[in-house]
């Protein structure tokens, strides 16, 4: 005889069993990912990121505000208006010459003109070791100096017997050469006034050596001052005449 409890635990058998749903069977190993022995495939054209240089910035780093970039990466651009030591940017300004500078250049240059004893009022003669009225190197030389040109007026004493036009031509050539070489100014005019001719003997008599000038300076102070006054008056008179003659500038 069957046990009543066993009968209660048994499921009733249905005359219509539940239909089976296809593909619903679950494999217990389905969710596990199989391990492969082959390495990951290499993608063509792909490159590994370069390792940062030791001490260099790391990816994602940003330079701190106000800190300059490393030298060599980006050279500092030149400042506006500065083109470097060999640049072509001109420096503003002008070069001018005082009259006495040009006069002194002329006076020194005329020392070597053959047949010219002296420039009236001063400077070296071409007779060795002789000085005449050397109190003022530029005495007897007048100049008009512009920014680009020079005009010259001078009084000279020529040695007797010399061809005066030839001496005057030498004077012009020497003045033009030396002034141009030293200043780059154009000599446009040289006016020469011959105030005297002397023999060498006469000139030497009128000449004084440096020692003679020193020893006789005290006794000749009054005469020297008188002569200087006369020269000043003469120069002022000539300057006045030239001002009237040249109302407009001769040079540029």
Cα–Cα distance for residue pair 213/128, rounded to 1 Å: 16
**pLDDT value at residue 118:** 86
> What average pLDDT score do residues 200-219 get?
65
**pLDDT value at residue 131:** 42
> What average pLDDT score do residues 209-228 get?
56
76/103: higher pLDDT = 103
> What average pLDDT score do residues 116-139 get?
57
Average pLDDT over the chain, rounded to whole?
Answer: 71
Contacts of 199 (CB under 8 A, 6+ apart): 159, 160, 161
Contacts of 239 (CB under 8 A, 6+ apart): 142
Whole-model pTM: value is 0.49
Opening angle at CA 134, ends 143 and 225, nearest 5: 95
Return the bridge partners of 199, or none: none
**pLDDT value at residue 102:** 94
152/68: higher pLDDT = 152
pLDDT interval class at 35 (50, 70, 90) = low
Q: Where are the domains of the chain?
A: 99-245
**pLDDT value at residue 211:** 45
pLDDT interval class at 160 (50, 70, 90) = very high
**pLDDT value at residue 120:** 75
53/205: higher pLDDT = 205
Return the bridge partners of 190, or none: 152
Q: What is the percentage of the chain residues whose pLDDT exceeds 70?
A: 42
Bridge-based pairing of strands 186-198 and 116-119 is unpaired
Whether residue 125 contacts residue 203, with contact meaning beta carbons closer than 8 Å, is answered with yes
CATH code, 99-245? 3.30.70.1350
Cα–Cα distance for residue pair 208/224, rounded to 1 Å: 13
pLDDT interval class at 70 (50, 70, 90) = low
pLDDT interval class at 77 (50, 70, 90) = low
> What average pLDDT score do residues 134-148 get?
77
**Residue 227: pLDDT above 90?**
no
**Residue 94: pLDDT above 70?**
yes
């Amino acid at each position: 005889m069957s046990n009543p409890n066993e009968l209660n635990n048994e499921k009733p058998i249905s005359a219509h069993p539940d239909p089976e749903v296809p593909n619903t069977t679950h494999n217990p190993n389905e969710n596990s990912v199989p391990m492969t022995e082959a390495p990951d495939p290499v993608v063509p054209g792909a490159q590994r990121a370069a390792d940062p240089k030791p001490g260099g910035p790391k990816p994602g780093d940003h330079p701190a505000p106000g800190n300059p970039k490393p030298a060599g990466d980006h050279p500092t651009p030149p400042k506006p208006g500065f083109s470097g030591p060999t640049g072509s940017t001109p420096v503003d300004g002008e070069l001018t010459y005082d009259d006495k500078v040009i006069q002194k250049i002329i006076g020194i240059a005329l020392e070597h003109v053959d047949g010219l004893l002296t420039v009236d009022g001063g400077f070296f003669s071409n007779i060795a070791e002789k000085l005449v009225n050397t109190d003022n190197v530029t005495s007897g030389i007048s100049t008009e100096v512009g920014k680009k040109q020079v005009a010259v007026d001078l009084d000279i004493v020529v040695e007797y017997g010399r061809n005066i036009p030839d001496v005057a031509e030498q004077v012009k050539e020497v003045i033009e050469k030396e002034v141009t070489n030293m200043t780059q100014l154009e000599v446009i005019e040289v006016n020469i006034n011959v105030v005297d001719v002397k023999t060498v003997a006469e000139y030497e008599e009128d000449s004084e050596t440096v020692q003679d000038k020193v020893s006789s300076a005290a006794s000749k102070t009054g005469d020297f001052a008188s002569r200087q006054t006369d020269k000043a008056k003469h120069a002022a008179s000539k300057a006045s005449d030239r001002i009237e003659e040249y109302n407009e500038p001769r040079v540029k």
